[in-house]
Amino acid sequence: MFRKRLNERRVSGGQQFFQPSSSCGDSQPPVLWDDKFDMARMRERAAQWVMMHDHPFTIVEEEGFNLMQKTRMPEWEKIMRITNKKDCVSVFEIEKKKLMNVLKNVNKISLMIDLWKSSNQNIEYMVITGHFIDGNWRLQKMVLSFVHIDPPHTGVQVVDSVYKCLKE
């Protein structure tokens, strides 16, 4: 049944793909499009997936992951962990530029700071989220910084991290 549904989604001229929205607060519906396989785009999506779910870079080298991808996309090429790490940094830099463009028109911003320990890596993080009203009078929420922070979390250490984030 599952295979039949997948085959019904095939259209002439290429595979039909589902494109998720670029940001969680985006109100536009997802887009379906017909396109040829693009390994560069798949590498970008793999990097986003790794960062979104806090996976190790090595997950893209695992046999099961690559078998799953190759089953439906014969053009799939294995991604090495070093390549995945570089792709993650590239995605981060692109998103940072987008954020800077959005914040150019913001006059006031409210900051929220959250500290926690990653369950699968046992590393402690700090995230700084900014809340602001955009030009259309809608409340926006964006992650401004996501950094590793060593324990203990003293007030001075937290303030230094916030200052560094705002300076960047």
Residue 8 counted as domain residue: yes
78-113 CB burial, b ≥16 within 10 A, e <16: ebeeebbbebbeebeeebeeeeeeeeeeeeeeeeee
- 61 and 128 fall within a common domain: no
The CA radius of gyration of the chain, in Å to the nearest whole number, is 20
Residue 131 is predicted with a pLDDT of 93
Q: What string of pLDDT tens digits covers the 168 residues of the chain?
A: 444 444 444 333 444 333 444 544 455 555 555 578 889 999 999 999 998 888 899 999 999 999 999 998 889 999 999 999 999 999 988 988 988 888 888 889 999 988 887 777 778 888 889 999 988 889 999 888 888 888 777 888 888 888 888 887
User: Which residue, of 85, 115, 144, is where some domain finishes?
Assistant: 85
Residue 30 is predicted with a pLDDT of 55
- 72 and 115 fall within a common domain: no
- What are the backbone angles phi and psi of residue 104, rounded to the nearest 5°? -60, -35
Domain span at 65: 2-85
- 47 and 77 fall within a common domain: yes
Q: What is the distance between the alpha carbons of residues 78 and 66, in angstroms, rounded to a whole number?
A: 6
- 81 and 18 fall within a common domain: yes
Residue 21 is predicted with a pLDDT of 44
Cα angle vertex 104, ends 134, 145, to 5°?
A: 90
Residue 59 counted as domain residue: yes
